[in-house]
A and B are shown apart, each in its own frame.
Chain A
């Protein structure tokens, strides 16, 4: 009995020792794994089940002033190869080449590479990506990359600029405001399963990287489109080399359109030349020619050196000055200052410059902003070339009078004319209205910025009236006339400097700068045609472009004509009775007498407005369709200052 108890006791002790030993072994192993090798093993484990996912930056969008998208960001797939994993290189390269439209030899070369990773093609189209995925080839992978797209194609291409493959802005607004537009690159560590699938056990906060900010431009796509179309048409017609058209609001400095030719499509920036990418309106300077005479005219008027009606003898086309002979295209005798501007006499302006003196003239050239950048918010602006007055030779006074020996950018010139149009204030031009963050916060807002007053309002108005004569009968810019509006402006035909041989070449720059309506300008526009061959004069190659752009822009801006409308030619027989009825009705109403309220009832909206315009009656419209009631009623006493309220229905 006792021996049995002792045996049991020994067994029990043995078991205890065994389990203690086992626990010690397990504990020791646990200590080794958790404490001694813990960090290393944890890293190994995390490498297997954790992965860092890079969240690529999403660039903000670019919009025009009406909210039309000009640049959008998307994600496209790019296809790569891990060469050492490819089993059948010939078959794979054949398949990829066929789908991607590449040469099989090129794909084969990439697959034969010694590198561990080689791109086959970047930024595939959706059908291409789907076909590659369907192949499910070992060693071939896809990767999402940001892709910048410009839905309007070449529209305002040079202003918008473009971005590189790494999503960095390289030109234009894309470059200027890159820090705002780019957005942040983010990364998120999340678990993945045995198949490599992402398991978002930590939530999605890390993946929620806000995109870049949106940029709202001052450009109007409709006016921009017209400007580009008309500019191209003139350049093709006149076999010119290049051209620029700018439309600006003179009161604010907002750029409504900025067109360049040759055009540039940022969707295919890599295939296009540097000449296409250049925004010539700010990066190129040129000798302005006769459009610069306006600056001397403003100086002379502001300093009261010359009056509008002062007479000058224009030497019948040849004038000896500082050892040189100055010519006029059309010889003239005695001309008034206003007429000199209208016919653009070089001799007349040389004589005016003699009276103004170079120091005073130089002061105003600087005041109008020449020789310095305008400060427009697009990259690459140059200041032009302006020599100080003390470095002018004797002949320079004359050449500066008619825009030679000085170079300006198109933007400088259009802003100088904007100063005359708005009553004498030089504004800073801008193309970006505001930048808005994804949360709706306005990060940057450009307000109209006054640079300085250049001339008095009186001088500006007087000069505007003189510039209006340029587009009337006898002036050089009659082809710039916009029907229904008074246009003020100036033509220019500048010789281009011969950089190879010195002096001037036979090449020309034809231009027109003006504003409309002349008495209350809503827009200033410049058209510049570089090296036209068929016709060279600014009044012929640039003025019609100005007219067409201005006409469309005024329609777009809903600016009512300041001259009475002429009823357009009737093209359809069916229209005749209605038109005659309106004419008769208007005539009859006029005949009723100035005191009687005319009858508008029964007329359509268009007929009522035509009648009101013909009779110079102020109306206020309520509703749409046909006039059913008017206040005051027809036949009552009529006061010219009264507004006729028309109620329309139907």
Chain B
């Protein structure tokens, strides 16, 4: 009796173990697949994010480059204005007309030794 019970029981247990082993392998494959999927999606997302960052930085660089160009132009304009204001002709006229200065007489110019 005992042997009649134990034989099918062993058979069932063996099938169950076999199924469990099969389903465990399948689960690992699914988990692996999911992880791989996530990894791929992450890579794709990272690529997209990086691409967006590059475009965003491109805009920032473009804006900064424009600002640099504008400031350089402004700097050149100021240099030009300074040079114009310092021109001997203008200074001569201002010194004579506004300040009433005259060309120094002989002896008024002292050359330092």
Contacts and interface: CB of A to CB of B under 8 A. Distances in A.
Interface in B41-67: 54-55, 57-59, 61-62, 65
Contacts of B103: 552
B62 A197 contact: yes
Interface string B70-113: 00010011011001101111001000000000011111111111
A224 B61 CA distance: 46
Contacts of B61: 200, 203-204
A225 B55 contact: no
B65 A200 contact: yes
Interface residues of B, number: 31
A558 B112 CA distance: 8
Nearest to A609: B110
Nearest to A619: B113
A621 B110 CA distance: 13
A4 B59 CA distance: 62
B107 A153 contact: no
A68 B88 CA distance: 10
Nearest to A154: B89
A618 B104 CA distance: 24
A568 B65 CA distance: 61
A540 B37 CA distance: 101
B73 A75 contact: yes
Contacts of B65: 200, 204, 207
B83 A201 contact: no
A72 B58 contact: no
* Chief secondary structure at chain A's binding surface: mixed
Given A199-B59, A200-B62, A201-B58, A567 B111 contact: no
A201 B55 contact: yes
B80 A566 contact: no
Contacts, number: 95
A438 to B, nearest CB: 13
A84 interface: no
Interface in A216-231: 221-222, 224-225, 229
* Chief secondary structure at chain B's binding surface: helix
Given A200-B62, A201-B54, A72 B80 contact: yes
A107 B94 CA distance: 41
Contacts of A605: 110
A565 interface: yes
Contact of A73 (B54, B76, B88, B110): B76
Contacts of B62: 197-200
Contacts of A229: 89, 92
B89 A567 contact: no
Nearest to B59: A199
A225 B58 contact: no
A191 B112 contact: no
Contacts of B83: 68-69, 72, 151-152
Contact of B58 (A73, A191, A207, A621): A191
Interface string A134-164: 0000000000000001011101000000000
28 contacts: A69-B79, A72-B79, A74-B73, A74-B77, A75-B73, A126-B77, A151-B87, A152-B84, A152-B88, A197-B59, A199-B55, A199-B59, A201-B58, A207-B65, A221-B87, A221-B88, A225-B89, A225-B92, A558-B112, A559-B111, A566-B106, A567-B107, A568-B106, A568-B108, A569-B105, A610-B110, A620-B113, A621-B113
Given A225-B92, A605-B110, A610-B107, 9 more contacts: A69-B83, A74-B77, A197-B59, A197-B62, A203-B61, A204-B65, A221-B88, A558-B111, A620-B113
